[in-house]
Amino acid sequence: MSTLEKTESKECAKQPQPISQLKGSQAVLEALLCEGVDTVFGYPGGAIMPIYDALYDYNEKLTHILVRHEQGGIHAAQGYARTSGRTGVVFATSGPGATNLVTGLADAMIDSNPIVCITGQVFASLLGTDAFQETDVINITAPVTKWSYQVTEASEIPTAIAKAFHIASTGRPGPVLIDITKNAQMELFDYLGYEKCTHIRSYRPSPIVRKEYVQEAAALINSAQKPFILFGQGIILGRAEQEFKAFLEKSGIPAAATVMGLSALETDHPQHVGMLGMHGNYAPNVMTNDCDVLIAIGMRFDDRVTGRLDKYAKQAKVVHLDIDPAEIDKNVQTTVAVWGDCKETLPQLTELIDKKEHTDWLEQFRTLEKEEIKEVIQNELHPTGDVLTMGEVVHLLNELTGGDAIITTDVGQHQMVACRYAKFNQSKSNVTSGGLGTMGFGLPAAIGAWYGAPHRDVIAIIGDGGFQMTLQELGTIMQFGAKVKILILNNQFLGMVRQWQQLFNEKRYSFVNITSPDFVALAKSYYIDGQKVSEREQLKTALKTMLDHDGAYLLEVMVGKENNVFPMVAQGTSVSEIRLK
């Protein structure tokens, strides 16, 4: 079980306390303290006022970050969860407060982020009456939550929240929503203390590992001539980075990451052959259709990874390790499925595999990599033209951070460039919206990422389009001082859609031309320092100024307007048909 680490709070009594009368709202906050929560992202409103009233007295024990929009709140909680490995917590009011969470819930659901959302709800007596700020939030959010529950009586609160944290953080993590009616927040009830939930009878966080499948998988791996590993976020969620590395190094097999799996293995590792998928690296895409055994670990064969399914790795036998039984055979037919938490299954597999070195096979990846360097990477990282490329900005950033920073990104061209070229030395460093592709994710996620890992540098790489979707969160940065570095790569277009319109719609640029405000002046209005550069000779100094600045900083870099991200697996084509230009 990937039970997320929780620090036991001193305020939380281990033994059931003598019966005391507590308000529902106080019980909510007591529950959070007992779960080791230190930071909550939220926004008050009518139906959640009793909880905010109680929060007034918990100010020293709980840090509450007042965001500027509930969507910002939940993305911040996601960022927090992703860099800290703990559960992110969000408060929002009923009605619009709750519906504003929906995008973030969907994002957290598809990217498996442990999140607990607590929403206020109208009085239980008013449910179903179209009361002021009433929405049926449980039903609206059902498809995008791992679990949800409506509390109508104060006495239900401790159990409901305990279950919420257990469900959100175990097995394949996900978002949970607890909707609490106002009367339940206000009522006094006999509080018996808080008991963490460790078991729910109908819920199996991770399947039991079947030894025979591990043995079958090992036999297949041992017999392989050209095995290839694909790794995803499951490694990070399962805290199995070390176990994965041990497996990898004993096996000698080349390994490629999904977008969500990036940073689970340091970029410089000799067996790391790059990123998979539509804008991934050349070699791993091509070799997917050349390997004889494909070993997928904690990844879910998203369509952006597989390209055309009927031409995906048809020659290979597939070993799939996953904690979620529903992922097995969902998109790609497996030969051997190893169900279970990879923290458990990987060491068992490592023990059974032969120590090998696939030198020649690995060399084939490196040969293809050279081709990609020549055709794509060289021009992207060391361009000879006048216009700046996104790649050279990320490359320079690598030089300055050494690969130690946390990178959050928004969605689009800059995201793919950042994922392709950013260097990661340690796990939990890549915070991006992988599955849902939520524009507007980058800035609020960076705020949360900083609270989740306040001693690390957090750089939010964002496009000019996505930044304008959630730029109100500059207000949150201003008020609470998150030291977030905002790097806007401005190509004056909604670049990814423009790229597709260029390649597939005969350059019919339909509403991709987006104008922007003066971002630096905008930041300044929020008392955030910044500058804008468009010349190559200014770039390095500007990046350095940004990194050295003690506090938040906004750097806008004007990049080539019509640069494209390559390589690319065009829609409807096979991974091995990946285009270099």
Q: Which residues bind other proteins (CB under 8 A)?
A: 123-128, 138-139, 142-143, 146-148, 150, 152-153, 156, 167, 181-183, 186, 200-203, 324-326, 328-330
b/e sequence 80-115, b meaning 16+ C-beta within 10 Å: bbbbbbbbbbbbbbbbebbbbbbbbbbbbbbbbbbb
Sheet containing 63-66: give its strands across.
63-66, 39-42, 88-92, 115-121, 175-181, 147-151
CB of 284 to other proteins, least distance (A): 27
Pairwise CA distance, residues 470 & 439, whole Å: 9
The active-site residue, picked from 70, 327, 380, 392, is 70
Closest to other proteins by CB, 10 vs 199, is: 199
**Backbone conformation region of residue 158, classed left if phi is above 0, alpha if psi is from -120 to 50, else beta:** alpha
First vs last C-alpha separation in the chain = 44
Q: Is 70 among the residues known to form the active site? A: yes
At residue 400, the 3 state secondary structure works out as: helix
CB of 453 to other proteins, least distance (A): 30
Pairwise CA distance, residues 163 & 200, whole Å: 8
Closest to other proteins by CB, 115 vs 494, is: 115
The active-site residue, picked from 23, 163, 182, 245, is 182
**Tokens standing for 548?**
């050295």
Pairwise CA distance, residues 328 & 468, whole Å: 39
Closest to other proteins by CB, 132 vs 504, is: 132
Q: Is 242 among the residues known to form the active site? A: no
Q: Is 260 among the residues known to form the active site? A: no
CB of 563 to other proteins, least distance (A): 37
Residues whose CB is less than 8 angstroms from the CB of residue 314 and which lie 6 or more positions away in sequence, other chains included: 289
b/e sequence 528-562, b meaning 16+ C-beta within 10 Å: bbbbbbeeeeebeebbebbbebeebbbbbbbbbee
Closest to other proteins by CB, 290 vs 324, is: 324
Residue 188 identity (one-letter amino acid): L
CB of 388 to other proteins, least distance (A): 43
Pairwise CA distance, residues 519 & 474, whole Å: 11
Closest to other proteins by CB, 201 vs 581, is: 201
Q: Which residues pair with 176 in a beta bridge?
A: 116, 147
CB of 303 to other proteins, least distance (A): 15
CB of 289 to other proteins, least distance (A): 23
CB of 325 to other proteins, least distance (A): 6
Q: Is 496 among the residues known to form the active site? A: yes
Helix and strand numbers (H, E) in the chain are 24, 20
**Strands 175-181, 227-231: pairing kind:** unpaired
Closest to other proteins by CB, 146 vs 428, is: 146
CB of 149 to other proteins, least distance (A): 8
Query: H-helix or E-strand containing 48?
Result: none
Closest to other proteins by CB, 206 vs 285, is: 206
The active-site residue, picked from 260, 416, 496, 568, is 496
Other C-beta atoms closer than 10 Å to the C-beta of 139 total 10
Q: What distance lies between CA 47 and its chain's CA centroid? A: 30
Q: Where are the alpha helices (DSSP H) in 69-136?
A: 70-84, 96-99, 102-110
Q: Is 478 among the residues known to form the active site? A: no
Pairwise CA distance, residues 30 & 190, whole Å: 14
CB of 156 to other proteins, least distance (A): 6
Pairwise CA distance, residues 200 & 580, whole Å: 50
Torsion angle in degrees (nearest 10) through CA of 147, 470, 303, 431: -80
The active-site residue, picked from 133, 215, 502, 531, is 133
Closest to other proteins by CB, 148 vs 263, is: 148
Closest to other proteins by CB, 169 vs 285, is: 169
Pairwise CA distance, residues 207 & 320, whole Å: 14
Pairwise CA distance, residues 482 & 80, whole Å: 12
Catalogue the active-site residues: 70, 132-133, 182, 496
